[in-house]
Chain A
Amino acid sequence: MTNYFNEMYDGGQVRAPYAQLDEWMRNMPAELQQMKQAEAEALFRRIGITFAVYGEGGDPDRLIPFDMFPRVFSAFEWAKLERGVKQRARALNAFLADVYGRGEIVRAGRIPANLVYQNAAYEKSVVGFLPPKGVYSHIVGVDLVRTGPEDFFVLEDNCRTPSGVSYMLENREIMMRMFPALFRENRIEPVDVYPDLLRRTLASVAPSKCKGEPVIVILTPGHFNSAYYEHSFLADLMGVELVEGQDLFVEGEFVYMRTTEGPRRVDVIYRRIDDDFIDPLCFRPDSMLGVPGLMDVYRSGGVSICSAPGAGVADDKAVYTFVPEMIRFYLGEEPILNNVPTWQCAKADDCKYVLDNLKELVVKEVHGSGGYGMLVGPKSTKAEIEDFAKRIKAKPHNYIAQPTLALSTTPTFVDQGIAPRHVDLRPYCLVGERAELVPGGLTRVALTEGSLVVNSSQGGGVKDTWVLAG
């Protein structure tokens, strides 16, 4: 029986950051809890925050379940996380500037050339082009899990367009509306500065040809996209336009957006569409989502694109293994946050180990996301494991494996009252002139008893994440 770290209770003792919540919880009658839970759901419905889930059918406007029991970090715990996440974000950006520049890390033999240059996410078309301030990934979402008081592991990095930050903001908003007293009794660091910080981050990477206050837009694939709500939410909070590809056009050296008052030049595009679809002239010619000619404007300094095209090569699951190496190579520091030990099925020895130990391991697709196409060994049947072994043997380079981590738990409201459920954390690091981290993030919780899969697509929920002021 694995011993899971409970973030609230240390043996019989309540851990310090949760002291106030212990009282709050004890004083909450069961009826009030049910009433509040219903109120929370009604609020989310009214706001309209829903998350379409791919491949599951059913209600596309399904709510992600919201759990009212906050997850809490002390100022001290957060300080370490903050340093660790910023360190990672800086190293990932240094790596991108390097592999699209001189490729020193490859020349030094610290990462295999084929892993970088033959990577599907490596964009040959931006080699030699340095984006403003040398930043490629402006929003780095780092997925973390905790296994002990001092023990955090990074599961993966998201350098392209990490989603979910709207939940961080909404969860806080809802909690403050429902339990104002909690926010008087606890000194909780605010997260509502995020939109302003994001806007300033984007403004700080305006292109060389931009004079004066940069015009920023969010480029969305449209309302069919599962994260469309978040795109419009962020545009609203930042006070910038939300546009689709057809709202933008290239003329001469610049990109313009159509407005009722005529064309308006755009300087910074926070795009929430993939590289492949961004410019039919440069990438997929069949793309209807992008802006023809955009990449030429970008590469000649007429517009900034965030994240920079090509940034995806840094968050590839096979490249992930080398992030600690990047931190040492570029920053000359030791990693503050640990990687999860990872086996590459592309390597024969690793693959054999993985196949021999499938029952104990978590296996993921190299390019997968959202918790699809993965195997959680200890939670799978013999037939599922055998089936997965066949898939690995057929395409070993498509898979990596990691040990099943003993994810920490936090108290969570369930039908029977309050019970521990496993959680992870995604903080959002903003990188422009400087790297900044809003004190908070998205905590996802596996609502099913014993489950270690927190993905919303697999029935996970979300929680408000508190960082206590020091």
Chain B
Amino acid sequence: MLLTVDHVTLYRYSQPVRGVVQSHRLTPSKFDGQRVLNWEVIVSDGIRGGSFVDGAGDHIQAWTVQGPVSEITVTVRGKVETTDLVGVLRGHKEKVPPQCYLGATAATTADMALAELADSVDADDNGLALAHGLSALVSDTITYRTGTTHAMTTAAEALAQGKGVCQDQTHALLVLARRNNIPARYVSGYLHSTQDGAAHEAAHAWAELWLEGLGWVGFDPANRCSPDERYIRLGSGLDAMDAAPIKGTARGQGAESLDVKLEVQQSEQ
């Protein structure tokens, strides 16, 4: 599938700030399931910083903006050719050992309810069946509902209220997998919504679980599927904060507000 991305993030500061520093994970991953035809990221008045591919295989690009500035725009545009690999992250070069993804973070710490849920599955299942079971369990226990959680909501809080968005569902799946000793990580990316309306959120997140013999395999509890040709993968981390496509900070007192416009379209050519 040919997908075009048009993603504009506008940061506004209530007072001009002295400078902005950002770290971007905004370039599609290199693996057999996707091929970049063209791609560019532009930061208004930005100075390009260091760039490198990190141990997890993510392409990182740093930016700085000199102040005073009260508004900056991050524009991402490009075209990617995708292939359905039924979730398997084939041909992705990385160096971080899978065991590194067994540890909990603040957002992915198990409370009693999550621990019970994690232990309720049949651990005798083979890895793949267990992973599918865990993902389904999350879809069943945390219903997709926007506006019920926020960026800092933890997996435990989302489970307690039984509602959340893709970030919360993914966090919960990470907890369940890690409790079952399956390395698991948060993946951020884009999703093309098809006409039938099944898919949610163009700025999307899902989980990857490390399965013996298969390597990293994606599971999307929000859509009860594994990532296919509608998905564009950007990068990964231990949780949403660690895997954020844009991390940034501004020097100054101004309060920050955010406006995001994103379209992921199927392209004819």
Contact = CB atoms under 8 A, between A and B. Distances in A.
Interface of A: 100-101, 103, 106, 113-114, 117-118, 120, 122, 124-129, 249-253, 280-282, 285, 292-293, 296-297, 299-302
A129 B55 contact: yes
Interface range on chain B (Cβ under 8 Å from partner): 20 to 34
A103 B60 contact: no
18 contacts: A106-B97, A118-B99, A120-B103, A124-B96, A125-B55, A126-B55, A128-B95, A250-B62, A251-B66, A282-B247, A293-B23, A297-B49, A299-B50, A299-B52, A300-B50, A300-B51, A300-B62, A302-B50
B66 A299 contact: no
Nearest to B19: A249
B241 interface: yes
Contacts, number: 98
A313 to B, nearest CB: 11
Which has the most chain A C-beta neighbours within 10 Å: B21, B50, B64?
B50
Contacts of A113: 97, 99
Contact of B23 (A103, A117, A118, A281): A281
Nearest to B103: A118
Interface of B: 19, 21-23, 47-52, 54-56, 60, 62, 64, 66, 95-97, 99-100, 102-103, 238, 241, 247-249, 251
Nearest to A106: B97
A458 B201 CA distance: 57
A300 B54 CA distance: 10
A100 B48 CA distance: 27
A398 to B, nearest CB: 16
Given A129-B55, A293-B21, A297-B49, 15 more contacts: A101-B95, A103-B97, A113-B97, A117-B100, A127-B95, A128-B96, A249-B21, A250-B62, A251-B47, A253-B48, A253-B62, A280-B249, A282-B23, A293-B23, A300-B52
A279 to B, nearest CB: 9
B21 A127 contact: no
A251 B27 CA distance: 21
The 6 closest A-B pairs by CB, nearest first: A300-B50, A127-B55, A128-B55, A296-B62, A117-B99, A293-B21
A280 B22 CA distance: 11
A250 B51 contact: no
A299 B54 contact: yes
Contacts of B247: 281-282
A252 B48 contact: yes
Given A250-B62, A281-B247, A124 B50 contact: no
Nearest to A102: B95
A250 B22 CA distance: 10
A285 B21 CA distance: 13
A253 B49 contact: yes
Nearest to B101: A124
A122 B100 contact: yes
A207 to B, nearest CB: 10
Consensus secondary structure, chain A interface: loop
Nearest to A300: B50
Nearest to A114: B99
A299 B64 contact: no
A103 B60 CA distance: 23
Contacts of B47: 251-252
Contact of B21 (A106, A281, A301, A302): A281
B177 to A, nearest CB: 15
A280 to B, nearest CB: 6
A281 B249 contact: yes
A124 to B, nearest CB: 5
Given A118-B103, A296-B62, A127 B96 contact: yes
Contact of B49 (A103, A114, A293): A293
A128 to B, nearest CB: 4
B64 A127 contact: no
A413 to B, nearest CB: 50
B14 to A, nearest CB: 20
A285 B106 CA distance: 12
A253 B103 contact: no
A247 B55 CA distance: 30
Nearest to A120: B103
A250 B21 contact: yes
B261 to A, nearest CB: 24
B54 A128 contact: yes
A250 B64 contact: yes
Contacts of B251: 249, 292
Contacts of B66: 251
Contacts of A253: 48-50, 62
Contacts of B249: 280-281, 292-293
Nearest to B244: A281
A117 B183 CA distance: 12
A307 B97 CA distance: 23
Contact of B55 (A124, A249, A293, A297): A124
